[in-house]
Structure 1
Amino acid sequence: MKLLQQAPVIAFLSHLITVSAMKHYVCPFSARFTEAEINQFRNEVIERRATSLQVYGMHDGAPLYEIRQQTVGEETHYFLLKVNLSTGHFQVVEKNNDGFHECRLQ
């Protein structure tokens, strides 16, 4: 009977454990993307499926796909997925007026 009374607390704690276990790509200017979201975009690009991502350009010989853009003050920040199509290696980067900055998985 006591366990039944504690069910809401147990459910809440289980939710907290699940949420805290999720990893995110965190960019220098505070944008966050879930690891699952980035992996889905990467798989779309590598498998050459129709993707919602627009090609932004090239950097170091690899295509850049725009995930999102955000304007802060007068400056536009582009959040990009860089994919090496032959190896499948990928990187999440942020581009602003200062250049390219790597987003870290945390």
Structure 2
Amino acid sequence: MSAVNPPDESEAVVARLWQEFRSEPWPARLNGAELVGIELVTLDADLAGCVHSWLNNGGYLDPRRRRTLNRRIRELEQVLPQLTEADAPQRWHRLHQMAQRVSGDSPYPTN
């Protein structure tokens, strides 16, 4: 059985996670912050932009956004182990979960 979820199922899960993500305030202490040489504001904005575009385009990303998404997922995976509780790790893990689903390579369960 494949780890990739059917598109409609992933869209529903990503839409739910997106609403949760959007309801979380951005931690102001992360403005200008970097971890492992990666600027967190830009990482967040790029990944969120890709997720938003995917949702608005019925589960489709153009090739440029897909490249951005894949590059930023790899960067986020470098950042995740470095996060502290003050860095709002739940926000980053939710963003990672959405990005993985959007990329079509999700190890996450559907519920």
Q: What TM-score, normalized to structure 1?
A: 0.30
Higher relative contact order, structure no. (Cα contacts within 8 Å, ≥ 6 residues apart): 2
- Give the structure with the higher percent strand: 1
- Give the structure with the higher percent helix: 2
Instruction: Please identify the structure whose Cα radius of gyration is greater.
Output: 1
Q: What TM-score, normalized to structure 2?
A: 0.29
